[in-house]
Structure 1
Amino acid sequence: MAYRRIADIDFSELTRGPFHPSPDDWADEVLYFLLVDRFSDGGERGYRDNDGVLVTTGTTPPLTEAGHGLAVRTEADAARWRAAGLDWASGTLAGLRGKLGYLRRLGVTAIWVSPVLKQCAGQPTYHGYATQDFLAVDPHFGTAEDLRGLVADAHAQGLRVILDVVINHAGDVFGYEGDAQPVWTGRRYPVKGLRDAAGAPVLPVGPVPGVYPDGGVWPEELQGTATFTGKGRIVDWDRFPEYLEGDFEGLKDIALGEGPADDYTPSAALLALVRAYQYWIAFADLDGLRVDTVKHLDPGAARFFASAIHEFAQSIGKERFCLVAEITGDREFAYRTLDEVGMDAALGLADVQARLEGVAKGAEDPAGYFALFRNSLQVGRESHTWFRDKVVTSYDDHDQVRKGPWKARFAAGEPGRRLALVALAMNATTLGIPCVYYGSEQGFDGEGGHDRYIREAMFGGEFGPFRSRGGHAFDEEHETYRQLAGLLAVRRRLPALRRGRQYLRPVSPDGVVFAPPGHPGAVAWSRIFADREVVVAVNTDPDRARTTWVTVDAGLHAEGDMLTCAYSSEPAFAGGRVSVSARNGKAVQLTVPPAGVVIYA
């Protein structure tokens, strides 16, 4: 049922359980982030269902390479395709529910689902970050029961579900006097009224029960005059306190409370939002939340939210319920904030993404990427292993804030198209909780320069990937999908790849002169867990194989010891063995295929 007030929810009944337990260690997990509107509408044919059976019904055929670019052959076609990228594409929770087998066979263990709560009526907020009702699922996506069914099916498939949520702001639920979007100056602006179902700001700011569900803001506890800061939109995203108090363009900032973090007084709005998300955790049996825009929250508000959510989750048996914080800015700021507010992991945005992409494309010194995890003292930690489960790593996402106005996926153009596996391998086998952005396993390129182009509809429709229309991309025979599935299988099998310490290894083409990896060429690193070492090497040269000597731990290996190839992107190498030699202490000689990956253990 749909609730209009927090006060109407019977939490004693809601929390009877049983509930799905948390993982032993989130470092063991592999996340997959998707936008529900852009993932699946359930109308595909020619893919494998959750049990691996080929689906022959449905109306949308698989996309072929011949279909790439067909949606933009004429300017009229291109304009239609571009416009479709700004509107709802019609992906649903039911569609996602039918693709859980696709994700499980890929090796994903946890799905990060974009926000699904009800958006403002009549606004193209397909991304889900403009909530109008915090107690209802948006009908574009389905129903609350669809969300609960998705999570139950995911758990049955061995997958966990992390739901993306927002507490910093609501959608464009009210209008200022003059129907303008005033800029932040530090003062409150007069509010004209809450918006009705047609978007007009004509409703009184207060209880408006007669306009449910599309008018006003819900639950009812959020309809008071004190719910919003009302100070206009942010212009300087780094100026204090502007970035804490301002609106995100039309998205209205919520007043969450006041005071220092150690003595914070939560507002009635924050108390209502905490209770709303506790409801969803229990109702849907969620395993974690990704909390949007934590940088723009008072530290006290973020800490209050984290404490209340953790305690509630633990009270129903979810001992390691995961709160992933989106904290933009430099990493020192991000990790200090993470510690201060008590959330579990930070998204490795900006420098992590940029450096991983640069190394994978052979354009940047690998030392820069690996130093992000070794310079732990900069964030007040004695060991770089702190990063193991405290940072979620990726190289592509739906915003790409780091790239400014010109955005595209890693695989846009050369050499990214051919080096996609290298980036995925670095993401999957280096420190942090790896996260795959949907479509990366199919080589999506996201070319075009705008947010919309990195948010392709995987199921085709009017805004299909590779500038296509009407063809889906759930291809389990795609080379990148198959290779990533093999990599993730090895990650599951070898604890060192999930939990081990990490070392960038000196390499040598001749076994005599060893130096840090150059670029382009072979990049190698070790993960060591207890007395087990696993060596990973990638080749950032897309045209020719690289044979190189790689330094290994001299204390763990004797001359003549053998390492076995646990994975190779060139199947002929798999199972091969190399002998440890007394070079640069100890070393092994590895051959890495062009744009390829090998793992030896």
Structure 2
Amino acid sequence: FDNADVLYLITPDRFANGDPSNDEVPGMQEKPDRNNKDGRHGGDIAGIRRHLDYIADLGFTAVWLNPVLENDQPRYSYHGYSTTDFYRVDPRFGTNEDYRALADEARRKGIKLIMDMIVNHCGSEHWWMDDPPMPDWINTWPRYTGTNHLKTLVQDPHAAESDRRRFFDGWFVPTMPDLNQRNPHLATYLIQNSIWWTEYLGLGGIRMDTYPYPDPHFMSEWTRRMMEEFPELNIVGEEWHEWPAIVAYWQRGKQNPDGYVSYLPSLMDFPLQAALRRALTHPEGWSSGWRELYDVLALDFLYADPDNLVVFPDNHDMSRIFTQLGEDFDLWKTAMVWTLTTRGIPQLYYGTEILLTNPPEGDHGRIRSDYPGGWPGDTVNAFTGEGLTPRQLEARAFLQKLLKWRRSATAVHRGKLVHFAPENGVYVYFRYDDSQKLMVVLNKNDQPFTLPLDRFRELIGGHTAARDVLQGGEVRLGAGLELAPRQPRILELE
């Protein structure tokens, strides 16, 4: 996957139940229970495959699935991050052959498959816990010790060694035993497993979970081996931190003061995600509002390749963007325009297109809610539009139009980005290449506003008119640009 793509993130158990016969599998511990927000609801690979046309018609070109490998845990197994067999698809999702058939059919429809992998830990019900291949296969402690989650320790020149050991060797949670990648046999196993799945499925990319937690030297070797085997593959790592200096450390080409060498092409841009939320919800001020987004983007000099970062308004581990924005539809539209026109590779979570929400406490089981229409008997069917509210239909049409336009917007794919310091509640930036120039205007004002254009002449140049991508029609680029209250605009200069 690359900058021309837009990723659609799916939690398979909560998207669509295409094969009810595998909801309950003899011998598997957890049974289905749709009434339990933390239980298994029956979504599967067959359900995703059945709705590939819906995904393609929206305008997405890649799907990232939360893990589908076996998670034979007694409870809370639906999310897929507690692997109990690294070579087997969980039978409640389907079979290995079903997974490959999904990848093949998606590819025929112009959709790449991105696999969610985990090498930091396994599930507590993995047979390794009863019969470890070697005594040091798992990082063990005299009593349960969880990681301290202190990402700054990785580069901290003053860090205590005991704190560093707890970060790398502590368990993520009690049901996720920490794997010891310093064991060369385990390291080889994990690398070979990743290579096998990539080849077996013909993957369009990998998303690596909990990227900074495993042994860092192993992660360097893992990415080196993967890129050596698949030079065109894109791999995005999860480093959840709001400071670009922490995220940038892991990207390929970064010259780190400690000499650490990484071969990881991409990372999830958590700093920009947090800045976008603050920019849209904080009032405009000297250092708040749009300034918060502008300042974080200005730190791109810290990255070796900022254009290859994955940008997103939300994901499966945080409140949905419509909830984060107080269910404000105008702000949601602005967030969509920003995500799909800024630098980087956009990712959206399933249900964003129909304004799915969650209770404010951010419970994961509620965030990863069932997609309406994915189960027989659902009173609302988002796949067909039946039962959606007028606002939901408007949101889906808005996003679909934006996604389909983006497919041929070369300036967004590979073009340069120049942004102007926000003023008067308006943030303006340009994307341009040799064949296209775009002016993106994000307006938070509650009243109509006339934007003077003189300060943008260095980019507008000799252009006197533009096409309005969202509203249609021609716009004259005279002394000022009329802006409707709280509405984003994309102008293609002519």
TM range (shorter): 0.7 to 0.9
Specify whether residues 551 and 456 from structure 1 end up closer, same or farther in structure 2 by C-alpha distance, changes over 3 A only: farther
Letter in 2 for 1:446: N
CA contact (8 A) 1:366 1:523 kept: yes
What is the Cα deviation at residue 228 of structure 1? 0.7
The reply on whether 1:254 has 2:179 as its aligned counterpart is yes
Equivalent residue number for residue 356 of structure 1: 276
Specify whether residues 227 and 173 from structure 1 end up closer, same or farther in structure 2 by C-alpha distance, changes over 3 A only: farther
Equivalent residue number for residue 188 of structure 1: none
1:33 aligned counterpart, secondary structure:
strand
Equivalent residue number for residue 36 of structure 1: 12
| Partner residue of 2:100 out of 142, 148, 157 | 148
Aligned partners of 2:50 and 2:454: how far apart in 1? Answer: 45
Equivalent residue number for residue 291 of structure 1: 208
What is the Cα deviation at residue 367 of structure 1? 2.7
Equivalent residue number for residue 303 of structure 1: 220
What is the Cα deviation at residue 577 of structure 1? 2.3
Aligned partners of 1:461 and 1:296: how far apart in 2? Answer: 35
Equivalent residue number for residue 341 of structure 1: 262
Structure 2 unpaired stretches of 5+? 21-32, 151-162, 253-260, 386-391
1:270 aligned counterpart, secondary structure:
helix
What is the Cα deviation at residue 300 of structure 1? 0.9
CA contact (8 A) 1:412 1:446 kept: no
Aligned partners of 1:155 and 1:408: how far apart in 2? Answer: 28
Q: Deviation per CA, 1:203-231, whole angstroms, max 9, x where unpaired?
A: 4x25xxxxxxxxxxxxxxxx433311113
Equivalent residue number for residue 490 of structure 2: 598
1:225 aligned counterpart, secondary structure:
coil
Letter in 2 for 1:479: E
Specify whether residues 517 and 437 from structure 1 end up closer, same or farther in structure 2 by C-alpha distance, changes over 3 A only: farther
Point out the more displaced range, 432-441 or 476-485. Answer: 476-485
Alignment of 1:410-429 (within 5 A): 410-411=322-323, 414-429=326-341
CA contact (8 A) 2:18 2:44 kept: yes
Alignment of 1:396-407 (within 5 A): 396-400=314-318, 407=319
Q: Deviation per CA, 1:363-382, whole angstroms, max 9, x where unpaired?
A: 44223213323223344x5x
| Partner residue of 2:366 out of 453, 458, 481 | 453
Aligned partners of 1:461 and 1:502: how far apart in 2? Answer: 39
Aligned partners of 2:380 and 2:67: how far apart in 1? Answer: 25
Letter in 2 for 1:97: R
| Partner residue of 1:230 out of 119, 140, 161 | 140
Aligned partners of 1:285 and 1:235: how far apart in 2? Answer: 34
| Partner residue of 1:567 out of 455, 469, 472 | 469
Structure 1 unpaired stretches of 5+? 1-22, 45-79, 175-192, 196-202, 207-222, 258-265, 314-318, 401-406, 507-515, 582-587
What is the Cα deviation at residue 461 of structure 1? 7.2
Q: Deviation per CA, 1:139-184, whole angstroms, max 9, x where unpaired?
A: 111111111111111111111111000001001136xxxxxxxxxx
The reply on whether 1:494 has 2:415 as its aligned counterpart is no
Aligned partners of 2:454 and 2:66: how far apart in 1? Answer: 42
CA contact (8 A) 1:563 1:579 kept: yes
Aligned partners of 1:418 and 1:88: how far apart in 2? Answer: 34
Equivalent residue number for residue 423 of structure 2: 517
Specify whether residues 133 and 558 from structure 1 end up closer, same or farther in structure 2 by C-alpha distance, changes over 3 A only: closer
What is the Cα deviation at residue 277 of structure 1? 1.7
Letter in 2 for 1:388: D
CA contact (8 A) 1:413 1:445 kept: no
Coordinate RMSD, CA, aligned: 2.8
2:206 aligned counterpart, secondary structure:
strand
Q: Deviation per CA, 1:212-265, whole angstroms, max 9, x where unpaired?
A: xxxxxxxxxxx43331111333152214121100111220010001xxxxxxxx
Paired positions, count: 446
Aligned partners of 1:375 and 1:412: how far apart in 2? Answer: 24
CA contact (8 A) 1:549 1:590 kept: no
Aligned partners of 1:539 and 1:482: how far apart in 2? Answer: 21
Aligned partners of 2:461 and 2:381: how far apart in 1? Answer: 51
Specify whether residues 555 and 321 from structure 1 end up closer, same or farther in structure 2 by C-alpha distance, changes over 3 A only: same
Q: Deviation per CA, 1:104-145, whole angstroms, max 9, x where unpaired?
A: 111111111111111124332111100000000001111111
Q: Deviation per CA, 1:471-512, whole angstroms, max 9, x where unpaired?
A: 343256821111111112222222112222222235xxxxxx
CA contact (8 A) 1:500 1:528 kept: yes
| Partner residue of 2:380 out of 471, 474, 494 | 471
Specify whether residues 272 and 551 from structure 1 end up closer, same or farther in structure 2 by C-alpha distance, changes over 3 A only: farther
CA contact (8 A) 1:162 1:288 kept: yes
CA contact (8 A) 1:550 1:590 kept: no
TM superposition score normalised by structure 2: 0.83
1:446 aligned counterpart, secondary structure:
coil
TM superposition score normalised by structure 1: 0.69
Letter in 2 for 1:92: D
What is the Cα deviation at residue 538 of structure 1? 2.6
CA contact (8 A) 1:408 1:447 kept: no
What is the Cα deviation at residue 291 of structure 1? 0.5
Equivalent residue number for residue 370 of structure 1: 294
What is the Cα deviation at residue 301 of structure 1? 0.8
Aligned partners of 1:599 and 1:365: how far apart in 2? Answer: 23
Give the fraction of aligned pairs with identical amino acids, expressed as a percent. 23
Specify whether residues 598 and 102 from structure 1 end up closer, same or farther in structure 2 by C-alpha distance, changes over 3 A only: same
1:141 aligned counterpart, secondary structure:
coil
Specify whether residues 484 and 546 from structure 1 end up closer, same or farther in structure 2 by C-alpha distance, changes over 3 A only: farther
Specify whether residues 134 and 366 from structure 1 end up closer, same or farther in structure 2 by C-alpha distance, changes over 3 A only: same
CA contact (8 A) 2:268 2:310 kept: yes
Aligned partners of 1:271 and 1:600: how far apart in 2? Answer: 50
CA contact (8 A) 1:107 1:488 kept: yes
The reply on whether 1:438 has 2:350 as its aligned counterpart is yes
Point out the more displaced range, 292-301 or 488-497. Answer: 488-497
1:297 aligned counterpart, secondary structure:
coil
| Partner residue of 2:82 out of 115, 119, 130 | 130
Point out the more displaced range, 298-307 or 233-242. Answer: 233-242
Aligned partners of 2:198 and 2:461: how far apart in 1? Answer: 51
What is the Cα deviation at residue 388 of structure 1? 1.1
Specify whether residues 531 and 194 from structure 1 end up closer, same or farther in structure 2 by C-alpha distance, changes over 3 A only: closer
Aligned partners of 2:12 and 2:435: how far apart in 1? Answer: 42
Letter in 2 for 1:369: L
Specify whether residues 478 and 544 from structure 1 end up closer, same or farther in structure 2 by C-alpha distance, changes over 3 A only: farther
The reply on whether 1:331 has 2:307 as its aligned counterpart is no
Equivalent residue number for residue 107 of structure 1: 59
| Partner residue of 1:170 out of 119, 122, 138 | 122
CA contact (8 A) 1:538 1:592 kept: no
